[in-house]
Amino acid sequence: MVKAMLGGDRRVVVLTGAGVSAESGVPTFRGRDGLWRTHRPEDLARPDAFAAHPELVWEFYNWRRELVRKCEPNPAHLALAALERAIPNFLLITQNVDGLHVRAGSRKILEMHGSLWQVRCTVCSHAREDHGDLPEMPECPVCGHLLRPGVVWFGEPLVPGVLRLAIEAVGKADVFLSVGTSSLVQPAASFYQLAKDHGAVTVEINLEPTPSTGFMDFALHGMAGDILPELIA
């Protein structure tokens, strides 16, 4: 049923979260494996944590950069890249910052929470892509102040323009898939509602039920790396 809806000229929008990268070995934010040392990752992904303990937050991000470098895209990433190539009206909106969708070949993609591979100055406008090894407390080459990860933390606005593009696409979608996200973090957690309000068929793929499950037209429970390749085969 869901498979049949992914064909033709239907406009398909896919929202992904950390669960899509879990099978590549990237830890999710919440749940059983969601601890870094004794810290909850969502407590470190905050401007107040960075202001109070920049060295701890940088250590967390440098650890993740190191970890993700060794990870490879999994069948879920590859299936979404193949879906993009197979249908003309497609957009992938990811909350993930690991870059694995792009490494899998996705090009019609919005990285709505930024990227682990971007850094920017906390004071001046310097920003750059950086895939190398960073020092514990990296300094801006322009003004000498502290750099920060180029990601979106709680309480911060999304990357300029990205939210507008995402909302436009979700509002026009015929099919909306939410994959591997706990549906707890706004604004992404409201996208299914927007899609539904505009008449889209909504589908959730997750290991377990989320707060959105009951509102979805279809809920498929299992590993994204098993379900997505089957849907596009």
Sign of the torsion formed by the C-alpha atoms of 206, 207, 212 and 214: positive
Q: Determine if residue 18 is labeled as part of a ligand binding site.
A: yes
Give first-to-last CA distance, the chain, whole Å: 13
Who's near 186: CB < 8 A, 6+ residues apart?
A: none
CA distances from 106 to 14, 61, 99, 145 (A): 12, 24, 10, 34
- Would you name the residues annotated as active-site residues? 113
Binding site for ligand BJW (CB under 6 A): 17-19, 22-23, 28-31, 34, 42, 45, 95, 97, 113, 151-157, 180-182, 184-187, 206-208, 210, 223-224
Cβ 46 to ligand BJW shortest distance, Å: 8
Q: Determine if residue 25 is labeled as part of a ligand binding site.
A: yes
Q: Determine if residue 8 is labeled as part of a ligand binding site.
A: no
Please identify, using beta-carbon distances, which residue of 168 and 190 lies nearer to ligand BJW: 190
**CB-based contact 25:67 (threshold 8 Å):** yes
Residue tagged 């593009």 (tokens): 165
Cβ 185 to ligand BJW shortest distance, Å: 4
Residue nearest to ligand BJW (CB): 19
User: Pick from 79, 107, 105, 114: which is nearest to 92 by CA?
Assistant: 107
Number of other CB atoms surrounding residue 148 within 10 Å = 22
Q: Determine if residue 96 is labeled as part of a ligand binding site.
A: yes
Please identify, using beta-carbon distances, which residue of 23 and 84 lies nearer to ligand BJW: 23
Please identify, using beta-carbon distances, which residue of 9 and 155 lies nearer to ligand BJW: 155
Please identify, using beta-carbon distances, which residue of 141 and 189 lies nearer to ligand BJW: 189
Tell me whether the omega of the peptide bond preceding residue 73 falls within 30 degrees of 0, making it cis. no
Residue positions forming the annotated binding site: 17-36, 61, 64, 95-98, 121, 124, 140, 143, 180-182, 206-208, 224
Residue positions forming the annotated binding site for NAD(+): 17-36, 95-98, 180-182, 206-208, 224
